[in-house]
């Protein structure tokens, strides 16, 4: 069922994070390791950029994909540590830019737009729209902070520390923020309409597509 699939997905994600950490320590310069480390990040980023129809994000994703193909085709690089740093920093900078761009005056914040698609049956209340704007700002700060932290750790700490940050701390911190916000939302705002965690994740992945009504769920 859905729980089993999510459990397997979590195990697969943890296994991949562990593999990436090992590859960065012991096979960082191998061309196949470069493909294994960069490919699974670039494909979803490119898909998101195409769904959002954001020219800058699309150009960054296409450029990164082309660079990956070039590196693998020529047999890797002498020292790819700076390439790994660029990947980690640019992905988070692009995500911060995507969220922050929607906070400019006259625009609809990214998470507000997602909430409108999820809550089609009962449109978001003014209070919910204020909350989702603040949440978009919070994710902007998180992504920008992660990019800055990545640069600082790379500059001042050993490579093993940066690899730990990129491969283990990054996904865990994002997951903690995502799940923590979901739980705190209904503690702070019990009046908000409730949706299942599964529906929230599904719409987060598909927010570039047409709106699909989601019937209200019972209290979790």
Residue 20 tokens, joined: 């990436």
pLDDT of 160 higher than 50: yes
What is the predicted pLDDT for the residue at 87?
77
DSSP class of residue 207? T
Q: Best-predicted range by mean pLDDT among 48-62, 130-144, 173-187, 199-213?
A: 130-144
The pLDDT confidence band at residue 124, using thresholds 50, 70 and 90, is: confident
* pLDDT tens digits along 13-55: 667 666 666 766 666 666 666 676 667 767 777 777 777 676 7
Q: What angle do CA 92, 9, 97 make, to 5 degrees?
A: 15
Secondary structure of residue 134 in the 3-state scheme: helix
pLDDT of 3 higher than 90: no
- Residue 23 to residues 9, 26, 30, 172: CA-CA distances in angstroms? 21, 5, 9, 19
* pLDDT tens digits along 44-88: 777 777 776 767 777 777 777 777 667 666 665 556 677 778 878
What is the predicted pLDDT for the residue at 220?
28
Residue 182 tokens, joined: 């979901």
What is the predicted pLDDT for the residue at 146?
96
Task: Report how far residue 130's alpha carbon sits from residue 8's, in angstroms, rounded to the nearest whole number.
Answer: 36
Higher pLDDT residue, 195 or 127? 127
Query: How buried is residue 60: exposed, middle or buried, by Cβ count under 10 Å (0-12/13-18/19+)?
Result: buried
């Amino acid at each position: 069922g859905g729980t089993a699939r999510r459990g397997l997905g979590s195990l697969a994600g943890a296994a991949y994070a562990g593999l990436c950490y090992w590859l960065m320590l012991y096979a960082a310069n191998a061309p196949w390791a470069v493909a294994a480390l960069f490919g699974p990040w670039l494909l979803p980023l490119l898909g998101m950029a195409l769904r959002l129809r954001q020219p800058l994000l699309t150009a960054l994703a296409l450029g990164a994909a082309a660079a990956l193909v070039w590196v693998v085709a020529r047999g890797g690089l002498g020292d790819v540590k700076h390439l790994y740093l660029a990947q980690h920093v640019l992905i988070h900078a692009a995500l911060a830019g995507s969220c922050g761009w929607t906070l400019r005056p006259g625009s609809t914040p990214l998470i507000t737009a997602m909430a409108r698609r999820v809550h089609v049956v009962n449109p978001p209340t003014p209070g919910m729209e204020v909350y989702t704007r603040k949440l978009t700002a919070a994710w902007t700060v998180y992504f920008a902070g992660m990019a800055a932290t990545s640069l600082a750790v790379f500059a001042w700490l050993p490579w093993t520390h940066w690899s730990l940050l990129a491969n283990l701390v990054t996904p865990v911190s994002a997951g903690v923020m995502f799940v923590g916000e979901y739980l705190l939302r209904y503690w702070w705002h019990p009046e908000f309409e409730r949706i299942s965690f599964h529906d929230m994740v599904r719409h987060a992945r598909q927010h570039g597509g047409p709106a699909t009504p989601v019937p209200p769920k019972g209290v979790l």
